[in-house]
Amino acid sequence: MGQNLTQKILAAHLVGGNMEPGNEIAIRIDQTLTQDSTGTMAYLQFEAMGISRVKTRKSVAYIDHNTLQTGFENADDHKYIQTVAYKHGIHFSRPGNGICHQVHLERFGIPGMTLLGSDSHTPTGGGIGMLAIGAGGLDVAVAMGGGSYYLSMPRICRVELTGRLQPWVTAKDIILEILRKLTVKGGVGKIMEYAGDGIATLTVPERATITNMGAELGATTSIFPSDAVTREFLRAQGREQDFVELNADADARYDEQITVDLSALVPMAAKPHSPDHVVPVANIAGIPVDQVAIGSCTNSSYMDMMKVAAILKGRKVHPRVSLVISPGSRQVLAMLAQNGALGDMVAAGARILESACGPCIGMGQSPATNAVSLRTFNRNFEGRSGTASAQVYLVSPETAAVSAITGVLTDPANDGPAPRVAQPRTFLADDSMVIPPAAEGEAAEVIRGPNIKPFPVNAPLADEVCGKVLIKLGDHITTDHIMPSNAKLLPFRSNVPYLAGYCLTPCDTEFPARAKQNQGGFIVGGTNYGQGSSREHAALAPLELRIKGVIVKSFARIHMANLINSGILPMTFTDETDYDRIQPMDALCIPDARNQIGKEQIRVRNETQGYDFMVWIACSERQAAILLAGGLLNHTRLGG
């Protein structure tokens, strides 16, 4: 029996385990990436391991999140990351060089390699044929030190793309349609592998748009074959030597399959406040628009920007609309400047932002009160924009640009002929803003600013784990709820004690004080708890507040792994009716906790109401050992 593409790459990197769905496997990691929002903590953890130099083929530290410098904090973190990267063998992408996923796709991604990144949208690399996975910073630190990355073997879903996109329909509309079909939970425990005759019609940047938003499906990652299209992209980037042809075998088997007819798609939009709340743009056209934001790691490629410039050329942005555009990399920005497209954008009334994440993570450009904001980004969670009352819609760059002109949400098919943009034969290749590391053995000083505080480390699991239910939450709690990420808080990503004072405050402003008053306790939640960003701080801040366990109906993959890495018990109700019965401030106790970890079911006593209920922890023997040790760092120090 033949292998699919995912199985081929996993088999070539397999260190341990059996590649049957649900089994824990260990794989070797070729490349890593970090960004500055998660990087400081990852490098502090790497330093704590006592390893002198990274052991990956290539590791890159990007500065693309915390670029708004309103005080010394962000600049200090950047200096720390630059100096620690220089010392330990990591390439450093300077502020202004671009968004990590866009730059990595352009300059460093290699088909068939594994990439682990401390950002949930690392699967963008699947557009070039990488097995690219988002993870917590500690997992990335371990990989940089030469350790394996462990994951539960996903099911492989074949996504067959047939036909060809109609004019004005884009790669963004493809992934929005898949989100409409499958929802934000539809990819949990799966890798989405794209196939079919339709893939040959999609460029690498278009493929990367699709794999990028596979994260919103909850998928472990997404991947396209490496083919003639991939080769042409790498040739244009001056990296044809990195090309490797990779395809699934003709008789490969999959765990499931869906089909998307590209020719039947229309422009789509995700309505507030979820990426799967998707409808055709035509169904909701006419909504007055206050802001349009074009960019992010999803839609900031050269070809996206050129299509936007073509739509804007010779026209003016509607007086009611604020249009902001952030090219995804310095390469893209420089090429737009050289060919005049940047001037067309500016002449139309667009505001050009830095080549960085910016508004996507709430770093500036928060909409007005109750404003409607069209964004080409990947998430529209409530409040993520920085304005709690804003109504954020996710759309393609073409829909965004046309709507910026008309002043209302507009189906771009009504705007005449669609712009046609060909991939350039040669991209501008200039890596001068990527600083290589020191030569091995060269002395290098690591500079730490006063905002960098020690990160919390848990103690080994106690024999009895007791505490109160400090908060009871509903479904789809995101990491933005657990640890807000906005322009005011991002500068403190290296200061967990400070951040802990804001943990879960979007849900309950009194939560941090209540947690401190009760010396920690438990969090109770609903389904898909911890969806969204890979930010490790959504586990570290609760750890700082002495949270002992989280009991929910279901977890998002990365957040559950981050809880285990922090030594916080991630428990799932075996009977969801127990969720209804439990109440805030109930006193819970797990007796004989150390002996219960690793069993199929764990008994929890509700001492307030006088009954027992059962939970389970979906962990491997290795993860059970991590929980007993009080987290991955303790486990690693013990030789695990």
User: What mean pLDDT, rounded, does the chain reach?
Assistant: 96
Give Rg (Cα) of the chain: 24
Q: Which CATH code, of 3.90.870.10, 3.20.19.10, 3.10.20.30, 3.20.20.140, is assigned to 465-637?
A: 3.20.19.10
Residue 505: what pLDDT? 96
What pLDDT is stored for residue 293 in this prediction?
98
Q: Is there a shared CATH topology between the 5-264 domain and the 268-412 domain?
A: yes
Rounded CA separation 213/297 (Å)? 10
Give the whole-number percent of the chain exceeding pLDDT 90. 90
Position 269 pLDDT exceeds 80: yes
Other CB atoms within a 10 A radius of the CB of residue 459 amount to 10
Residue 273: cis peptide before it, omega within 30 degrees of 0: yes
Contacts of 416 (CB under 8 A, 6+ apart): none
- The full DSSP string for 43-93 is HHHHHHTT-SS--SSEEEEE--SS---SSHHHHHHHHHHHHHHHHHT-EEE
Using CB atoms within 10 A of its CB, is residue 251 exposed (0-12), middle (13-18) or buried (19+)? Answer: exposed
Q: Nearest CA to 88 among 114, 113, 51?
A: 51
- CB contact at 8 A, 527 and 553: yes
Query: 337 pLDDT band (50/70/90 cuts)?
Result: very high
pLDDT score, position 639: 66
Q: Residue 529: beta bridge partners?
A: 555
The domains of the chain are located at 5-264, 268-412, 465-637
The whole-number average pLDDT for the span 223-251 is: 98
Inform me whether the pLDDT recorded for 495 exceeds 70: yes
pLDDT at res. 9 = 98
Please check whether residue 553 is in contact with residue 523, taking contact to mean a CB–CB distance below 8 angstroms.
no
Average pLDDT over residues 422-429: 95
Strands ordered across the beta sheet of 434-435: 131-134, 114-117, 31-35, 58-62, 91-93, 434-435
Alpha carbon distance 85, 446 (integer Å): 9
| Distance from the Cα of residue 273 to its chain's centroid | 17
534-593 pLDDT per residue, tens: 789 999 999 999 999 999 999 999 999 999 999 999 999 999 999 999 999 999 999 999
Give the pLDDT of residue 286. Answer: 98
Which residues lie closer than 8 Å to 57 by C-beta, 6 or more apart? 30, 31, 113
Of 43, 147, 32, nearest to 100 (Cα)? 32
- Would you tell me which CATH number, out of the four given (3.20.20.70, 3.40.50.300, 3.40.309.10, 3.30.499.10), belongs to the domain 5-264? 3.30.499.10
What does the pLDDT read at residue 17? Answer: 96
- Which amino acid type is present at position 544? E
Q: Give CATH for domain 268-412.
A: 3.30.499.10
Task: Report the C-alpha gap between 41 and 561 in whole angstroms.
Answer: 16
398: Cβ contacts below 8 Å, ≥ 6 apart: 168, 170, 267, 307, 308, 311, 412, 418, 419
pLDDT band at 105 (very low <50, low <70, confident <90, very high): very high
CA distances from 506 to 473, 486, 526 (A): 11, 12, 16
Q: Residue 412's pLDDT band (boundaries 50, 70, 90)?
A: very high
Q: What letters, b where the CB count within 10 A reaches 16 and e where it falls short, cover 485-501?
A: bbbebbbbbbbbebbbb
Specify whether the CB–CB gap between 31 and 56 falls below 8 A. yes
Rounded to the nearest 10°, the torsion over CA 182, 186, 190, 191 is 40
